[in-house]
Amino acid sequence: MSTPTRTTLRTTGVALRAMLVFTLVLGVGYTLLVTGIGQLALPWQANGSAVQNADGDTVGSALIGQSFADADGNALPQYFQPRPSAAGDGYDAGASSGSNLGPENPDLVSAIEQRRTAIAEREGVDPSQVPADAVTASGSGLDPHISPAYALLQVPRVAEARGLDEAAVREVVEAHIQQRDLGFLGEPRVNVLELNLALDALGS
């Protein structure tokens, strides 16, 4: 066997062994290590931040918004409504996306005005009182949060639908306002799923 051939075979053998070692270390060992750390240190987050109802059934994730509407797409009056979603048919986790329409796009402007009018009518307020997040979708289309302003706007309608005192519903909303992360990142927000589950726990 010639020297070049032996050199090629030796180099190939080294490359294959290196590939096998790195596959085991980085592809298997690292994955198991990170998964184990996640399960030990942050099990709720590592398992999808699942949210359970009062019966212990998983009803969603704290990280992914969902619709609270009937089969025809009409908002259920007893529930707080999320912001609009451009992901698939709405809050489709398999089709996360925004509308990709610019702020001056006539279709987007028209959609915003239609949403503003519809929400103002639903909540019994002037269109000028409807917050921006109530009429615009997030970049992912899966935002689980709404602004405190939009949540508080919905209090009278939800209280009436559930036969509850407005002050009691407002108290639940205020208890679920999450402040800025680390005191300065992001904006105050309310997780819609967690808020609606808290109201379900109160009864109607």
User: Do 60 and 142 share a structural domain?
Assistant: yes
The amino acid present at 33, given as its one-letter code, is: L
Kindly list the distances between the CA atom of residue 165 and the CA atoms of 12, 68, 106, 144, 158, in Å, as whole numbers in the listed order.
76, 21, 41, 26, 10
Count how many domains the chain has.
2
CA dihedral 41, 46, 50, 54 (to 10 degrees): -20
User: Do 19 and 106 share a structural domain?
Assistant: no
Instruction: Show the domain range for 98.
Output: 50-202
Give the span between the Cα atoms of 102 and 85, in whole angstroms: 16
Q: Which residues contact 176 (CB under 8 A, 6 or more apart)?
A: 151, 190, 191, 194, 195, 198
pLDDT of residue 128: 96
Residue 85 burial by Cβ neighbours in a 10 Å radius (0-12, 13-18, 19+): buried
User: Do 160 and 70 share a structural domain?
Assistant: yes
Kindly report, residue by residue over 18-36, the tens digit of the pLDDT: 999 999 999 999 999 999 8
User: Do 107 and 36 share a structural domain?
Assistant: no
User: Do 159 and 137 share a structural domain?
Assistant: yes
Which 3 state secondary structure label does DSSP give 145? strand
User: Do 183 and 105 share a structural domain?
Assistant: yes
Give the span between the Cα atoms of 163 and 3, in whole angstroms: 89
Q: Which residues contact 48 (CB under 8 A, 6 or more apart)?
A: 61, 63
User: Do 60 and 16 share a structural domain?
Assistant: no
Kindly list the distances between the CA atom of residue 184 and the CA atoms of 148, 151, 187, in Å, as whole numbers in the listed order.
17, 21, 8
User: Do 170 and 79 share a structural domain?
Assistant: yes
User: Do 31 and 70 share a structural domain?
Assistant: no
2 has a pLDDT exceeding 70: no
User: Do 62 and 20 share a structural domain?
Assistant: no
Rounded mean pLDDT, 182-196:
95
Question: What's the farthest any 2 CA atoms get from each other in the chain?
Answer: 92
- The structure tokens 């986790």 sit at 93
Kindly report, residue by residue over 134-169, the tens digit of the pLDDT: 999 988 989 999 999 999 999 999 999 999 999 999
